[in-house]
Structure 1
Amino acid sequence: MSALQERPPCPRPPGAPRWVALFHRPAGAGSWTVGAQSPYRAPVLYAVGIMTRTLRARGDEVTVALWGPKDGAWHLFDTPAAAEDPAPATPSGQPAPGPAEPAGLTERMTGRRHQVLLAGLSKAGLYDLGPEDDEAVRALADRLDEPTVRRVAHWLSVAGR
């Protein structure tokens, strides 16, 4: 959606204030859907950047609304920069952790990349992995960003067909 077009009215998310990204795709159902939510802003902004880029690459128009806590209540924040660019990245391509982001989130994201790679290997027909294989998968999960891991898993699943 261009900057000159008006954003459709966005409903406030239910529940306690937290960081929530809502997406509106006119070509879809035309309603707002939750795309990402977290108690922390950085992972939501990262997800907004990735999802927006993916949808636009498919040729979809997308509008993003970013809700978050402000003074203990819901607040609708501006999102143009978040929709164009994911959260700042480190030299390795990983999103830079936000100041309030716990170390547990980083561990969960690494675990998720590890699971995605293992699923890709399974689809490629590699089920009986030894300790060396697991260590190699962990090394990849530590070093690659989420989009790259998904791409590698896709290659593996196509190879297994």
Structure 2
Amino acid sequence: MFHQPSQDAWTVAAESPHRDPVLYAVGDMTQTVRARGDEAAVALWGPEGGAWRQFDAPTTRTSVPPSAPAATSAAASETSAGRPADAPAGPARLAERMTDRRHQVLLAGLSKAGLYDLAPEDGETVRTMADRLDEPTVRRVAHWLSVAGRR
């Protein structure tokens, strides 16, 4: 369950008879909540011995913190790729999108491997790998992580 401070309410995040899909969903939802700039509070409940009980939920950060936005007026007139807003997107935008895609694939692989508690330095490492590796290599690494998570 996720706590929404704005509404002072709890929302069901995922339901499954198995724990792994629930943890995967909690990891993804936590990343989404933090990407929006909110903090996530999680309570993990499940059956045990014919009754419901609260299990330990991930207690540390589960996603990469968003980078701080630039505060200058000159930076406000530029896009996220660092070029003027009226410049054509072209190859630079494609390269940025592919890097973001590789980053998402690596994060999904880490989640499938059961690594939900990423520290800030882990996030930087994932970003560096996404920048330096090509698409097939990233997919292969994510596959290895996924297989490791099933064991």
TM-score interval, normalised by the smaller of the two chains: 0.3 to 0.5
Point out the structure with the larger helix share: 2
* TM-score normalised per structure 1: 0.41
